[in-house]
Structure 1
């Protein structure tokens, strides 16, 4: 039987994030200003065709798969990213020190986007902050590190946009923010999980130190909708 985390985006869009979902019964996607992600009940050619038909012109989507997927020619495959999916297996709620953390809001979005553009943790759009619980650390008057929540395939909650400005690496900022993120999720009786590039050894070790374990491999496909020639 398929685990809901084998298809986290689709299950988020039919459960915890169903109020943010657009699309059809077996093909869902987030509002384009919130997140560039699509979830298909099955990663089939038929469903990719449906996504093409029902999505806006020039749409760009990221979708996840545990196994390789052949992308129909009508889509332009921009890239694919090999990742690990990790799930929190810790036995205790972290005793997180929240001092120095800032609750990020709409007034911080431009700085958040700048940090994401610099560090490339994954897509972050003008309304991604609506996915909730973004916290950051400021140093020298600028946003130095942040993380927040993304997919919510209930009862699992994804920690995402984990990034630190290169000038502030090695100061423990990400560790502190992640402890707070984990604590908040566990206090809601949810289970933290996340995704990371499988070649990012430093991040993987940090997550494992915090209590995450690798659950499975995952592939992120980035595809763009291009007009068919007449």
Structure 2
């Protein structure tokens, strides 16, 4: 468990999500229209050089690494965002009654892009929907809450893009979407987990209330090829 979750991007790109990226035996990255994430089997100077040769000039890559100290030379460091990785250890939740959830599909991509641009839950691109498992709630024909599945390996599925339109905040919509996604992941035989910025205390409280616990610190290293 520790080995997989300490390096979730690498293991996702070598298993369930392999069709969404490319690379070699040491370095892999998702297609740029899916996600900016890159995974390395080890964070060594040689692997960073290989990654440097795989990306385009000015291309940004995001790494998940459980430590703050990381030297990605020859890349430039754009940002180093502290966060947490949380794993679900609660009981399977019951369905939350109320407004119905819908599966989000190709026809909803523009709405998904608009909502994620407004709320900034993390990287979300035009083909991020290819990870699958996205669900949302519409009100007056506008997408007001959503979340979905992202990094997947045998045994674990990451829940991501959890967001609610500011005008609909405080109505329990995020909890409803999360409950359903937790149920979906458990039904598939996997354990739900997620990543969250350390300063997003409101979200952390919600996740803990639902049964997630902090497993480890996780830094989101944003690097760029100059």
Q: Does 1:190 align with 2:190?
A: yes
Q: Which runs of 5+ in 1 are unaligned?
A: none
Corresponding residue for residue 105 of structure 1: 105
1:109 and 1:4 map into 2 onto residues whose CA distance is 30
2:196 and 2:140 map into 1 onto residues whose CA distance is 28
Corresponding residue for residue 81 of structure 2: 81
1:188 and 1:141 map into 2 onto residues whose CA distance is 30
Corresponding residue for residue 120 of structure 1: 120
Q: Which string of whole-angstrom CA distances, capped at 9 and with x for unpartnered residues, describes residues 152-180 of structure 1?
A: 12210000000111111100000000000
| Structure 1 position 57, deviation (Å) | 3.7
Q: Which string of whole-angstrom CA distances, capped at 9 and with x for unpartnered residues, describes residues 29-57 of structure 1?
A: 11111111000111222211110012234
Q: Which string of whole-angstrom CA distances, capped at 9 and with x for unpartnered residues, describes residues 95-148 of structure 1?
A: 214751121111111111111111111011110001001111112321111000
Which structure 2 residues correspond to residues 76-225 of structure 1 after superposition, within 5 A?
76-91=76-91, 93-97=92-96, 99-225=99-225
1:137 touches 1:144 (CA, 8 Å); kept in 2?
Answer: yes
Q: Secondary structure at the match of 1:90?
A: coil
Q: Which runs of 5+ in 2 are unaligned?
A: none
1:116 and 1:218 map into 2 onto residues whose CA distance is 22
| Structure 1 position 2, deviation (Å) | 4.8
1:9 touches 1:153 (CA, 8 Å); kept in 2?
Answer: no
Q: Which string of whole-angstrom CA distances, capped at 9 and with x for unpartnered residues, describes residues 19-77 of structure 1?
A: 223011010111111111000111222211110012234322101111120231x3222
Tell me the matched-pair count: 224
Corresponding residue for residue 70 of structure 2: 69
| Structure 1 position 90, deviation (Å) | 1.3
TM-score (normalizing by structure 2)? 0.95
TM-score (normalizing by structure 1)? 0.93
2:44 and 2:9 map into 1 onto residues whose CA distance is 15
1:43 and 1:115 map into 2 onto residues whose CA distance is 34
**Where has structure 1 moved over 6 Å in runs of 4 or more?**
none
Q: Which string of whole-angstrom CA distances, capped at 9 and with x for unpartnered residues, describes residues 166-213 of structure 1?
A: 111100000000000000000011010000001111100100111100
Q: Secondary structure at the match of 1:126?
A: coil
Corresponding residue for residue 8 of structure 1: 8
Moved more, 212-221 or 74-83: 74-83
Corresponding residue for residue 31 of structure 2: 31
1:84 touches 1:217 (CA, 8 Å); kept in 2?
Answer: yes
Which structure 2 residues correspond to residues 44-55 of structure 1 after superposition, within 5 A?
44-55=44-55
RMSD of Structure 2 on Structure 1 (CA): 1.4
1:31 and 1:21 map into 2 onto residues whose CA distance is 5
1:5 touches 1:153 (CA, 8 Å); kept in 2?
Answer: no
| Structure 1 position 223, deviation (Å) | 1.3
